[in-house]
Structure 1
Amino acid sequence: MTKINIIPLSGIRESGKNLFVVEVDNDIFVLDCGLRYPENELLGIDTIIPDFTYLKENANRVAGVFLTHGHPDAIGALPYFLEEIQAPVFGTKLTIELAKLNVHRYEATKRFKEFHVIDEFTEIDFGSTVISFFRTTHSIPDSVGISLKTAEGNIVYTGDFKFDQSASASYKTDFARLAEIGREGVLALLSTSSNAENQQSVASELQIADEVYDTILYWEGRIVVACVASNLQRVQQVIDASYRSNRKIVLTGQDFGKIIRTAMKLGKLTLPDENLFITQKEMKKYRPEELVILETGRMGEPIRALQKMAKGTHRTLKIQEGDLVYITTTPTIAMETVVAKTEDIIYRAGGTVKNISDNLVVSGHANANDLQLMLNLMQPKYLIPVQGEYRQLAAHANLAKQLGYQANQVIIAGKGDVLSYQKGELVLNGAVPAENVMIDGKGIGDIGNIVLRDRKVLSEDGIFVAVVTISRREKKIISSPQITSRGFVYVKASRDLIRESAELVQSIVETHLAEDGFDWGNLKQDIRDQLSRYLFEQTRRRPVILPVIMEASGRKGKKY
């Protein structure tokens, strides 16, 4: 019997950061290599990537990385992966070009070249496994699903998808190929779950295009459109609607230029008029009703840019009286509060807000009916819901049970779980490391829970610094304790608290100096403990306490 392990290293019980491992005999196949952007509580963290520990330990067995589409949740972690593990990367033409942009701007991988372009007709024979691809519909062109053909049946990973009968050629699903894979026999289906709770019909892209056009055509003023840069389908709709409405487009957003140039070069984004785009300096030549400002960026960035425009802190643009702010991307649950606050700020600035989801159910992801149709086409022996929070995975599991699947045929795995095919059954067989790896500036994985906890405390209760200079030889304090506080209390209004804190520190230091066995570590810890108790009693707050002990030695002091 062929040895098969399926390991969701990440992208499960969370949104984004997709990376799924399939082991067939001695080969390891990596499906997607994405990142996710942090929620607000991860203070200062730029991005979060998967834990590559298991793959690094088995680097010689990694046959390749196989990408489903060009969004950050599928390709964003590639530079960090390729820095550790040299493996070929496979994807469609647009996906590979976007992956190259991502990989080559990272210093450690700027010379990586082993990219391979595939399409829906490609088959790659690895001996015990044959990998092929099938076209899917998503919000970016050239999206595919992946099928791994083994002696025990196909293992299929859908990637992000939805079904849209009116999709254009670059976005059209290959239903015939899906049915063919299903007839061959599917052992396990790894299917996206991010929209599994939605029972409503999702609007077709033709309906959305009409909605975008009507909005842009009939507004009698300037329009600011907020859109995620990698949602090329929405960008195309805005371009087409602006052209038909005789409006010029002003581009903003840092990531958009390279993405749009790449998509246009490959014919995945069409420009009906070469003079459609204008610079921000040229805006003053046009009346407000002749302009569309397209604000793009990573997930969440367009919303933050809108806030700056409304507050007047944006580097070049400002929301004006009569502006329409058109939010064309449905926010995640985590972003809903931020969007609501942004809308309030925009209205205060004199603008008006319209969300594309006000009139339509909009999503690039499969709803409940789509997921059940995929199950019916594939007829897998096992369903492994992926790409979603636990409640979404559970909703997907319930959809399968409505089709007659038994509880033991639907596996809601955890990150790092090893699912092994043994004696005709897929069973849990241990786990591998699968922690979150956080990126902060140039630091990769050097930010842990303790640092995050300190950042959280600093953001909530501030810092309290006590500086004192001593002479161990003379066993006395040379300079009285000086107290500095930031983000804890207003010093001028808390003179008594500061004075009593200084007296407490002086008492602690004097006690330690009088002892025979003086220890720097014990002194600093004692200051932290006693000062922390005192400050909590007085304020019910727990700031970060930083004791700084200076030792006088001749004319210079040593700091501890």
Structure 2
Amino acid sequence: MFIKASEMDSYPKNQIMILCTGSQGEPMAALSRIARREFPNIDLIPGDTVILSSSPIPGNRAAIELVVNRLTRLGAIVIENSAENKIHTSGHASQEEQKVLFTLLKPKFFMPMHGEYRMLKTHGETATKVNVKPQNVFVIANGDQIEMHNGVAKVGKRVEADAVFIDGKDLSGQANNVIRERNVLSRDGLIAVIISIDSQKNKMTANPRIISRGSFYVKDSTSTISEIIGIVSEAVSGVLKSAKPTFGGIKNAVKETLSPYIFRVKKRNPLIIPVILNKK
């Protein structure tokens, strides 16, 4: 007997069962909202039993644990699927149910959708066991095209279907410098090298200063910083002693000499930004 949530108070508590979404810890699903006490007309009370008749999808375990902890704090008894309980209920049709569908619809062509490759392949094999010819089953990947014309279907040309990174309002999909630099920053961090020079005398006026963000902790790397200062000083001095020293030459020399050293000692390729302060 189905009733409205607003009618729940008219029935004994032990005669009410709620079927709801949220088996994977989705934040806006009913179970998550119930666990946060945000769902209208439904409030868990100590002693209520919550059964998760599902298995965690890889990657969702943390979200599920959060919901389970919240339910437990409310006093609920939470039962999950396990080797002992075996209460998993699939959300997908069984093979026999799929065969019934193929028998009723009698498709000439079939393209399995949604799932890992092995799942798509198995679904296609189910179709061939009923009434679909093997050559009319298309197990494809993102970017493949199925061309349909005059009752005939076939695999067409592939198109680019990789992830497209965008920056702000730039929807061109081109890998610009901003995106590339963000990728480097996320992996290896940034090192700023501040160099003070006197361009009139072609010499350095102070030792280089090193600022590291997301690459390594400066206070715990005293010897590394000393080595970096020595490498940068030597590189800058070499450019300043050349026939035609330029700011561009100094920056390139710093990057080319510092990058291999950082990778050797820290196993990182940080974004290196030389900053030149010139005394005029």
**TM-score normalised per structure 2:** 0.68
Q: Larger deviation: 479-488 or 358-367? A: 358-367
Partner of 1:79: none
Return the offset for 1:382: 0.8
Q: What is the DSSP-based 3-state SS (H/G/I as helix, E as strand, rest coil) of the residue aligned with 1:547?
A: strand
Tell whether the 8 Å contact from 1:225 to 1:325 is kept in structure 2 after alignment: no
Task: Tell whether 2:133 aligns with 1:335.
Answer: no
Task: Tell whether 2:7 aligns with 1:251.
Answer: no
Tell whether the 8 Å contact from 1:226 to 1:327 is kept in structure 2 after alignment: no
Identity of aligned pairs, percent?
23
Which whole-Å CA distance do the structure 2 matches of 1:549 and 1:489 have between them?
19
Amino acid at match of 1:542: R
Tell whether the 8 Å contact from 1:227 to 1:329 is kept in structure 2 after alignment: no
Partner of 1:289: 45
Tell whether the 8 Å contact from 2:203 to 2:237 is kept in structure 1 after alignment: yes
Q: What is the DSSP-based 3-state SS (H/G/I as helix, E as strand, rest coil) of the residue aligned with 1:289?
A: coil
Amino acid at match of 1:463: L
**Alpha-carbon displacement from aligned partner over 1:158-217 (angstroms, at most 9, x marks no partner):** xxxxxxxxxx9xxxxxxxxxxxxxxxxxxxxxxxxxxxxxxxxxxxxxxxxx9x9399xx
Tell whether the 8 Å contact from 2:194 to 2:277 is kept in structure 1 after alignment: no
Q: What is the DSSP-based 3-state SS (H/G/I as helix, E as strand, rest coil) of the residue aligned with 1:251?
A: coil
Return the offset for 1:355: 5.8
Tell whether the 8 Å contact from 2:128 to 2:134 is kept in structure 1 after alignment: yes
Return the offset for 1:225: 9.2
Task: Tell whether 2:241 aligns with 1:514.
Answer: yes
Tell whether the 8 Å contact from 1:226 to 1:325 is kept in structure 2 after alignment: no
Return the offset for 1:498: 0.4
Matches within 5 A, 1:122-521: 213=17, 228=26, 235=30, 250-251=37-38, 276=41, 289=45, 331-336=56-61, 338-339=62-63, 354=78, 357-358=81-82, 359-421=86-148, 425-438=152-165, 448=175, 455=182, 458-521=185-248
Q: What is the DSSP-based 3-state SS (H/G/I as helix, E as strand, rest coil) of the residue aligned with 1:552?
A: strand
Partner of 2:268: 542
**TM-score normalised per structure 1:** 0.38
Q: What is the DSSP-based 3-state SS (H/G/I as helix, E as strand, rest coil) of the residue aligned with 1:416?
A: coil
Question: Which runs of 5 or more structure 2 residues have no equivalent in the other structure?
Answer: 3-13
- After superposition, the Cα gap between the structure-2 partners of 1:392 and 1:473, relative to the gap in structure 1 and judged at 3 Å, is farther
Tell whether the 8 Å contact from 1:415 to 1:434 is kept in structure 2 after alignment: yes
**Greater RCO (Cα-Cα under 8 Å, separation 6 or more):** 1
Return the offset for 1:370: 3.7
Which whole-Å CA distance do the structure 2 matches of 1:413 and 1:444 have between them?
27
Bigger proportion of residues as strand: 1
Question: Which runs of 5 or more structure 1 residues have no equivalent in the other structure?
Answer: 1-167, 169-209, 216-223, 243-247, 253-270, 279-287, 293-323, 555-560
Return the offset for 1:329: 6.9
Tell whether the 8 Å contact from 1:417 to 1:430 is kept in structure 2 after alignment: yes
Partner of 1:93: none
Which whole-Å CA distance do the structure 1 matches of 2:77 and 2:197 have between them?
62
Q: What is the DSSP-based 3-state SS (H/G/I as helix, E as strand, rest coil) of the residue aligned with 1:506?
A: helix
**Alpha-carbon displacement from aligned partner over 1:451-474 (angstroms, at most 9, x marks no partner):** 677556544543332221334343
**Number of residue pairs matched?**
263
